[in-house]
Structure formats: structure tokens, C-alpha cells
């Protein structure tokens, strides 16, 4: 079990709900992954009309916790307004906060992110900020009232995996008591295992599962990878060495002499 903001969760995998080939495949992927938290965009819910109502009914039938997000917001005002609407629609104070600053990389506007996070935290939200791997920004978000951080490992949907291992390791080391969830850029189950081996608490992904040839199989694979990475971290992995170390002891081995 994984405790996140006072809630016990059976899985350390959080799953997005966009871009799936069909609602049925989405439902099967969520079940196969073992996730207990899914992200939902308010924009999709509000823009879908009857289709949006059916989608919301499907999500509720899965018995998972909803983490609404402010995807597509490019300003503080837009993000804050969307978050407040999401709280009314989904009935939760949890919000994945996105304030996008660059259209090409979808990199967060970290200045707007901190401002929006402060406003929402003061209004009683439990803010999950989608941020970069910058330590200074992370510190400002915590000062603003955030209790959890969601650093990217690569641009959204890029499937590049962790492009700056040192930065992620540094963030984990600087904030040992803060729940850290890697969000964005994971493309393969091995990527998820890698960041979990660094000591991160969970991962959130969408595109790598939704756009796979077999979303259900990929969701299952990511669920297993997250568990494996976490168990490896907790078991104490060997650190890399620059010399060979024999696995068989040399002490007491037989010595043969020529006659």
C-alpha cells in the first residue's frame, strides 16, 4: 500500500484517460494496470456533451480515485478557474495543476505555476503541480503550500524516458520526505522501473499506454514495472563499480601443481 496525502492506495501507478482507441479499451487498461488513481481533464468532460456524460459514468464505474487536471491552461487565471470548476464537477479537492509555458515542448510556465499553486493551496486544494526537475522551483512550490511534486522526466508524450537522471536523483535527495511522482515523457516500462529505482514514490503516464498497439497489455506491463522498480529500490541495489568483482570466492580454492 502507498499512502498519498492521507489516502491509502494499492498502486504506485497513476494513469491518464486520454487518447484511448475506445472507452472499453480504456476501462480494460485501467483494470489491467492495477491503478487506483486516474487523471481526467475538465476540458474533455465539459466539451463532450452527452459523450462527456458517458465518459464520466464510465470512470465512476471503475471505482478509482479521480485526479482532475488543468491540461491545456496557459495562464494563472485560466488554470485557477479550471481547477475550481473541476472541484465542483468531480467533487474532490485534488488537482493536477498544469500551466503550460511553451507550445512546442509543453514545458510548464514555472512562474505562473508557483503563483497558481499558492492561490489554490490557500483555497484548500491539494495541488499536484506538473513541474520541471529544477530544485529552486520545487522549493518555491513547497513554500506555496504544495505537499507533493510532479517533476517531468521528458516532454509530454515524447516517450524519451528520463533524460536527466542526475537532476531526478538530486531532487529525490533534496526532498526526502516529500512525495515525488514522475510525470510526463515515460515511453517504456523500463523507464518507469528506472525512476522507481531512484526512490520516486509513483509515476503518472498516459500516452505510452493509450497509443500502444495493445493498450491493455502495455498497462499491465507498466503496472508490473512500477512494482519491480519500487521493490528493487527497497531491497538495496548494488552500486556500479569500475572493476570486476568475482562472484565465486577465491579463498580456499584448490591449487594444482605440476608433477
Helix (H, G, I), strand (E, B) or coil at 94: strand
Q: Which three cell numbers stand for residue 193?
A: 522501473
Check whether 157 is labelled as a binding-site residue. yes
Report the C-alpha gap between 30 and 39 in whole angstroms.
Answer: 11
* Three-class SS of 207-220: HHHHCCCCHHHHHH
Report the C-alpha gap between 234 and 210 in whole angstroms.
Answer: 29
Q: Which three cell numbers stand for residue 119?
A: 492561490
Check whether 207 is labelled as a binding-site residue. yes
Distances (CA, A) of 209 to 53, 187, 202, 249: 23, 8, 16, 45
CB distance 8 to 1 below 8 Å = yes
Report the C-alpha gap between 194 and 158 in whole angstroms.
Answer: 17
84 noted as active-site residue: no
For the chain, counts of helices (H) and of strands (E): 10, 10
Check whether 206 is labelled as a binding-site residue. yes
Catalytic residue among 31, 54, 84, 96: 96
For cell 519491480, the residue is 228
Check whether 225 is labelled as a binding-site residue. no
Phi/psi zone of residue 79: left (φ > 0), alpha (ψ -120 to 50 degrees), beta? alpha
Question: Where is the binding site, in residues?
Answer: 157, 184-185, 206-207
The residues carrying an active-site annotation are 96
Question: Where is the binding site for 1-deoxy-D-xylulose 5-phosphate, in residues?
Answer: 157, 184-185, 206-207
Amino acid at each position: 500500500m502507498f499512502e498519498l496525502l492521507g489516502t491509502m492506495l494499492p498502486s504506485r501507478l497513476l494513469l491518464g484517460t486520454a487518447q484511448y482507441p475506445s472507452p472499453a479499451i480504456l476501462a480494460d487498461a485501467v483494470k489491467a494496470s492495477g491503478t487506483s488513481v486516474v487523471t481526467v481533464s475538465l476540458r474533455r468532460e465539459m466539451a463532450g456533451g452527452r459523450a462527456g456524460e458517458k465518459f464520466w459514468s464510465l470512470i465512476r464505474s471503475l471505482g478509482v480515485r479521480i485526479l482532475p487536471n488543468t491540461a491545456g491552461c496557459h495562464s494563472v487565471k485560466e488554470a485557477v478557474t479550471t481547477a475550481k470548476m473541476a472541484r465542483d464537477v468531480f467533487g474532490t479537492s485534488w488537482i493536477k495543476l498544469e500551466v503550460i509555458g511553451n507550445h512546442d515542448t509543453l514545458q510548464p510556465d514555472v512562474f505562473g505555476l508557483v503563483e497558481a499553486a499558492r492561490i489554490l493551496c490557500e483555497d484548500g486544494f491539494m495541488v499536484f503541480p506538473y513541474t520541471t526537475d529544477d530544485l529552486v522551483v520545487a522549493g518555491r512550490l513547497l513554500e506555496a503550500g504544495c505537499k507533493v511534486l510532479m517533476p517531468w522526466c521528458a516532454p509530454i508524450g515524447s516517450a524519451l524516458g528520463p533524460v536527466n537522471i542526475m537532476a531526478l536523483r538530486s531532487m529525490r535527495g533534496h526532498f526526502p520526505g516529500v512525495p515525488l511522482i514522475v510525470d510526463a515523457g515515460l515511453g517504456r516500462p523500463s523507464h518507469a522501473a528506472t525512476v522507481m529505482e531512484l526512490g520516486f514514490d509513483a509515476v503518472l503516464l498516459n500516452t505510452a499506454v493509450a497509443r500502444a498497439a495493445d493498450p491493455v497489455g502495455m498497462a499491465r506491463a507498466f503496472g508490473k514495472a512500477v512494482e519491480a522498480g519500487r521493490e528493487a529500490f527497497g531491497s538495496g541495489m548494488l552500486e556500479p563499480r569500475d572493476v570486476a568483482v568475482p562472484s565465486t570466492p577465491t579463498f580456499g580454492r584448490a591449487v594444482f601443481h605440476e608433477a
